Structure 1
């Protein structure tokens, strides 16, 4: 056989796919749809690195200030920028106040010109939110006139909420408590500074990518075999006109090649359509512009070459066990039993690749990425290899039952391989998801911890603006809708002497009710002073805060110009009090002072903080508090307390897994539906014959359900076993105690079963249509 016969035979198979009548092009279209869905997801995956890089580039291009930025003098090209971030419900809003100091000052990216005082330019998503019926509370907070929109170059995502507002006298705010700086341009020109990733997080990233891409590859391999039995019978005609068996297989491969090439075209179309729609959605707080989703050229070429090559290879391998003769396709009534030994080599090989990295954890060096990818792939591919053997072994032993059961079992006994192929992808997805959930649950304690905030005592905190009267500010918050209680604490640090070698003591100023939040008081009335005892770091304070001691207030701690050193003598009748943790989890030391005992001048040196307790029955209580804060100070951003704190990178990886899993589940459902419809179409005449002989349609519907339920049940059982094994290995690699997260195991298997159930229900209407009497008509 010469190599020149391959192109000719493949070309003939391609012509048969499109010019072989209705059966040929229907099969080609079904194959193309299945392959196209997989290709679209692969192209999306290859575009993710570029999308993340573009988001980071745009974030750096609009960078305005850092805490360590050196001060620069006022010039023609300088401007003042002040943070004015806020939150609306659960959505973060990036806000900046701008003041140009000269005619040469450049506006931020995406903004044509600086907004004037009481004006703002907003992102398209924020403009839409402000104009909506649900944006009334936000309109009360952002009382600027919308003068324009921010262009794409100034945003990191299509659904990002952001605004730039004009301001005046912003330097005074920076000299106070506001975060901001004088800059001469936007963008970070310095080298990127990033903390190195620890090995466990890198392992999570690698496993997430493998687990999300493996089901896609399995689905593509299954899609190229749609309509295999009917195609094999058509190929018998080629043998009748003189084609040998090898040429016939090559022609069949050409037919699959045609479907895969059409699938590449469809997949590209699906990807471009999804790329255009991507700007309209935000998934788990992440949005992109269509221009972000540009696949890497090298990876796109790899997909374009790998998919057709896989179609040809899968078809040739699948036809090895089929004898195509001139008078028909010979499938022996008792096919050779599938061998188990070589199927076990795949998962065992995967375990062997992962074994050298056992117990490394965070301190054992980097995990070898090639061994990780190879080991996880072999374990997941082992599911696809073992599942046909498991299905064949189990269904061969199934016995008698109802008519629907017998129809389903007999069908599975005749073509267990086709049933296994249909559920292979979902089994791989579930196995990988179970392993990942076990890994996430095992390492969650490292990257997730309970916060120090006591959310039962308060749910928000806010700084009192510089120069604002404390009593008036507290009254504003107490009158806010949804606020149940406000605790106000003012703090100042006093020195035992003037000079650099002084020792400092914390003085907390509040009324009796608020002081009881930080100490256990024997009794309290206005004018009392207490010396705190029992604080973990309060020994030095106890030495300084003695009755009759003279303490000094440092003028650098006050925002008012002209204040100098001020002394205060502690009263000799101050009483002891036991310290307790405040709502932030901080245990104070030093001195507690009620307002009646405080020298009037000392209050100017103190900074004040409010702890706000909310009424959970009031909707949008958090936003009512934020509106009050914005009314008092537009740069104020009240802090919402959370009971749990998560590592940002860990949270990002988990978000990425959720986004990817949603896309893979959508692919699973669509591909299973296409596969189910293809199988029903192939058996149209058989189903119509059964109805003609008196079989009830309900019986046929139940048989279809059993045909899906039996292999998917076996597949999910195998997936759970392999997934738990892989999860245990990954936990051992991270030096984490092995613990089966049964909740995640049951939830992932339940999701997999739910997808199959939905697909089966969606296939019932086509089943009823195919079982009509005209299904027996032939040409």
Structure 2
């Protein structure tokens, strides 16, 4: 056995006068296996990456129980919304010299000092982060280390303060340590939902690459079979011949395995520079588990070797060099239909689920069903091509040559084109989803007052904020509104109303009031996807309620006055649907408990510029105030950025995999021309023009590709429909991108044909008939 394998290894890199074919097969197999390994190793690292992130997250978990020898650390979370981005700031103040230090910091920042993460530093140094930098203030003295970050892209800021500044704040936490006991650790790891979402992407990327590997490993089959026949003449048995063929493919597979591993290690440092929707990762977290590495090391070379041996299944290698092909067996269809039907049933079952129910089971069914349907459609393509060409007759000579060849054997070409089908259908699926999201109007009302609100403020120092805002020239008005909760007097803890209390000018920033005077009450209706609120009946008794440790406490009673004005939800900002708007005069002197005061800032000019100006104006108040833009101001910008990123990524990935599939088509065309060089030379000698043979080669590839493109478009749209229905989105096809991807598939056929013309011209020379 060892001698057979060594002989195969020698033939893989030698082979006498046909060493060029052997070397090309070796290079293509090595390249294909390397690309597969380079894709599989990052996928195999996802579980480790999630586990590392979980470990760092658990290490940052604060311990509120007093620890021996530890002084308290006062901690206050400060979420800084900058409109199109945000920072997660944490204000720290030691309660003594032995206060614990959070992971990622060498020491606690002193008052006025700031420590930032690398991603936060990049943002604060940019033009977009200038106003946020002004709000934080202080001096940046250091950088947060990796232990203080869950992901590399986390925008984390630690701000130093004194204990007197924050220990009496309502949201301040007292911390005595960090980390959780190993017995309470969750262990991390990828969850099944994430795994299910990754599955369709992996299928789109891997199927064409695996087809490329199998195609490359079977290149030069005719020459290899003649060489194996020569070995039979020397006394090598049929079983030994198969071992030699396996060893030939094993060289390229092992070389590809090493090259793929090297490619993964070389590209891994670049992972830290990628920014996907604001997410960045630590390159060193991408470490595949040794179990998966062993699995990949056995699977991928085994695939290449198996493809080479599988190619000899209907070939009998005789000592005299006669290669007899057995009758093609009938195509087994049961497993192909089983995959497609299983996927269709999973997708169809989701039609019974309630729209936007957010059920994990439905998400898994959609992910698994779409993956199975993608694979099933690719598996059914050879059968579809076979049935179509069987019913074609007549046509030009080039057309008849291509159709007759496909009637005799269409499986190989169809299997190669299956990679194109998966890519096209997957691209259509993902791009249709992205397009539907980008063209869907935001949920709820889009109403805005004549002078839109540019900023909202909430905190303990609102009077000082009003004084600071009055000095900002771009701010024209500041309105105060008080929020509280109202319940039916006899309803106990039943669901009641959210209440906003303010003068007419303030409430006019929340809804279209029409006429308004002090003493009026307005009831805003429910949004399209919300349950109708309990009706506010005139003369009905209600109670204001407050909460203590999550438990409601009944407050003063109030009678709903006559003349409540009903306002439709689409004539108010979306966040006040199902809300009562009350002017102070309607309360009759009642002081509701547990209220939250808010300021709403309006101005003239660009709302985004006013928001930044207002945020900078109140920056001296620091973490005592939360400042954020109104809902929807930056929503379209964020959505457009996400859509553009998704579209670019999908187009790049699709074109890359299409290039791999096109290379598989090229190898297939070269192999077919080489195998049929004598019949082609005979046709040329009989007077058939080279142009007819070239067009025949074109149609032989174009027919399976055309069938595949049609199947891909239909399947891609069909798979998308249940997902869109469940997500409550309208169908929106990105015709431009679908046209680009389909056009690239057609272009692959034309380029393949052009590149094979020199070989076709060479094999049709009369010299090729000399052996006859």
TM over 0.5: yes
- Going from structure 1 to structure 2, the CA distance change for 1:296 and 1:347 (only over 3 Å counts) comes to farther
1:279 aligns to what? 272
CA contact 2:74–2:173 (8 Å) conserved in 1: yes
1:95 aligns to what? 89
Structure 1 residue 251 corresponds to structure 2 residue 273: no
* Separation in structure 2 between the aligned mates of residue 450 and residue 659 of structure 1, nearest angstrom: 23
CA contact 2:59–2:103 (8 Å) conserved in 1: yes
Q: 1:58-80: per-residue Cα shift (whole Å, max 9, x none)?
A: 22322348xxxx78799952111
1:126 aligns to what? 120
1:585 aligns to what? 576
- Going from structure 1 to structure 2, the CA distance change for 1:771 and 1:383 (only over 3 Å counts) comes to same
1:317 aligns to what? 310
CA contact 1:81–1:180 (8 Å) conserved in 2: yes
Residue pairs, 1:595-606, within 5 angstroms: none
Residue pairs, 1:270-669, within 5 angstroms: 270-324=263-317, 330=323, 339-340=330-331, 342-348=332-338, 351=341, 359=349, 380-395=374-389, 397=392, 400=395, 416-431=410-425, 451=443, 454=446, 456-457=448-449, 462-469=456-463, 472=466, 475=469, 479-480=473-474, 487-491=479-483, 509-517=501-509, 523-524=515-516, 528-531=518-521, 536-537=533-534, 539=536, 543=540, 576-578=563-565, 580=567, 582-583=572-573, 584-589=575-580, 591-593=582-584, 607-611=596-600, 623-624=612-613, 626-628=615-617, 630-634=619-623, 636-638=626-628, 640-642=630-632, 665=654, 668-669=657-658
* Separation in structure 1 between the aligned mates of residue 649 and residue 192 of structure 2, nearest angstrom: 17
Secondary structure of the corresponding residue to residue 715 of structure 1: helix
CA contact 1:233–1:328 (8 Å) conserved in 2: no
TM-aligned CA deviation for residue 330 of structure 1: 4.9
- Going from structure 1 to structure 2, the CA distance change for 1:697 and 1:203 (only over 3 Å counts) comes to farther
- Going from structure 1 to structure 2, the CA distance change for 1:411 and 1:627 (only over 3 Å counts) comes to farther
CA contact 2:434–2:647 (8 Å) conserved in 1: no
* Separation in structure 1 between the aligned mates of residue 314 and residue 663 of structure 2, nearest angstrom: 25
* Separation in structure 2 between the aligned mates of residue 752 and residue 116 of structure 1, nearest angstrom: 57
2:147 aligns to what? 153
* Separation in structure 2 between the aligned mates of residue 697 and residue 316 of structure 1, nearest angstrom: 34
TM-aligned CA deviation for residue 219 of structure 1: 2.7
Secondary structure of the corresponding residue to residue 422 of structure 1: helix
Q: 1:119-159: per-residue Cα shift (whole Å, max 9, x none)?
A: 21112222233334554444334433221111112112223
* Separation in structure 2 between the aligned mates of residue 514 and residue 761 of structure 1, nearest angstrom: 67
TM-aligned CA deviation for residue 48 of structure 1: 1.0
Q: Which of 741, 744, 753 is the aligned partner of 2:742?
A: 753
* Separation in structure 1 between the aligned mates of residue 744 and residue 39 of structure 2, nearest angstrom: 18
Secondary structure of the corresponding residue to residue 114 of structure 2: strand
TM-aligned CA deviation for residue 112 of structure 1: 0.7
TM-aligned CA deviation for residue 314 of structure 1: 2.0
* Separation in structure 1 between the aligned mates of residue 564 and residue 369 of structure 2, nearest angstrom: 61
TM-aligned CA deviation for residue 37 of structure 1: 1.0
- Going from structure 1 to structure 2, the CA distance change for 1:428 and 1:100 (only over 3 Å counts) comes to same
2:25 aligns to what? 27
- Going from structure 1 to structure 2, the CA distance change for 1:9 and 1:155 (only over 3 Å counts) comes to same
* Separation in structure 1 between the aligned mates of residue 135 and residue 498 of structure 2, nearest angstrom: 35
- Going from structure 1 to structure 2, the CA distance change for 1:704 and 1:75 (only over 3 Å counts) comes to farther
Q: 1:208-233: per-residue Cα shift (whole Å, max 9, x none)?
A: 51562375155324413316352431
Residue pairs, 1:75-94, within 5 angstroms: 76-88=70-82, 90-94=84-88
Secondary structure of the corresponding residue to residue 163 of structure 1: strand
Secondary structure of the corresponding residue to residue 99 of structure 1: strand
Secondary structure of the corresponding residue to residue 386 of structure 1: helix
- Going from structure 1 to structure 2, the CA distance change for 1:426 and 1:682 (only over 3 Å counts) comes to closer
TM-aligned CA deviation for residue 357 of structure 1: 11
- Going from structure 1 to structure 2, the CA distance change for 1:35 and 1:541 (only over 3 Å counts) comes to farther
* Separation in structure 1 between the aligned mates of residue 134 and residue 760 of structure 2, nearest angstrom: 62
1:672 aligns to what? 661
- Going from structure 1 to structure 2, the CA distance change for 1:248 and 1:578 (only over 3 Å counts) comes to same
- Going from structure 1 to structure 2, the CA distance change for 1:16 and 1:318 (only over 3 Å counts) comes to same
1:236 aligns to what? 226
CA contact 1:212–1:664 (8 Å) conserved in 2: no
Residue pairs, 1:192-211, within 5 angstroms: 205-206=195-196, 208-209=198-199
- Going from structure 1 to structure 2, the CA distance change for 1:623 and 1:186 (only over 3 Å counts) comes to farther
* Separation in structure 1 between the aligned mates of residue 691 and residue 731 of structure 2, nearest angstrom: 36
Secondary structure of the corresponding residue to residue 225 of structure 1: helix
TM-aligned CA deviation for residue 529 of structure 1: 3.3
Q: 1:185-220: per-residue Cα shift (whole Å, max 9, x none)?
A: 2335594799xx9xxx96785365156237515532
* Separation in structure 1 between the aligned mates of residue 340 and residue 545 of structure 2, nearest angstrom: 67
* Separation in structure 2 between the aligned mates of residue 523 and residue 378 of structure 1, nearest angstrom: 60
CA contact 1:81–1:97 (8 Å) conserved in 2: yes
TM-aligned CA deviation for residue 602 of structure 1: 7.5
CA contact 2:522–2:580 (8 Å) conserved in 1: yes
1:163 aligns to what? 157
Secondary structure of the corresponding residue to residue 520 of structure 2: strand
1:183 aligns to what? 175
* Separation in structure 1 between the aligned mates of residue 405 and residue 372 of structure 2, nearest angstrom: 30
1:563 aligns to what? none
* Separation in structure 2 between the aligned mates of residue 369 and residue 455 of structure 1, nearest angstrom: 33
* Separation in structure 2 between the aligned mates of residue 375 and residue 331 of structure 1, nearest angstrom: 42
Gap regions ≥5 residues in structure 1: 546-550, 558-565, 646-653
CA contact 2:375–2:422 (8 Å) conserved in 1: yes
Secondary structure of the corresponding residue to residue 105 of structure 1: coil
CA contact 1:108–1:186 (8 Å) conserved in 2: yes
* Separation in structure 1 between the aligned mates of residue 421 and residue 329 of structure 2, nearest angstrom: 19
- Going from structure 1 to structure 2, the CA distance change for 1:15 and 1:246 (only over 3 Å counts) comes to same
CA contact 2:249–2:304 (8 Å) conserved in 1: yes
* Separation in structure 1 between the aligned mates of residue 373 and residue 607 of structure 2, nearest angstrom: 51
Q: Which of 97, 102, 106 is the aligned partner of 1:112?
A: 106
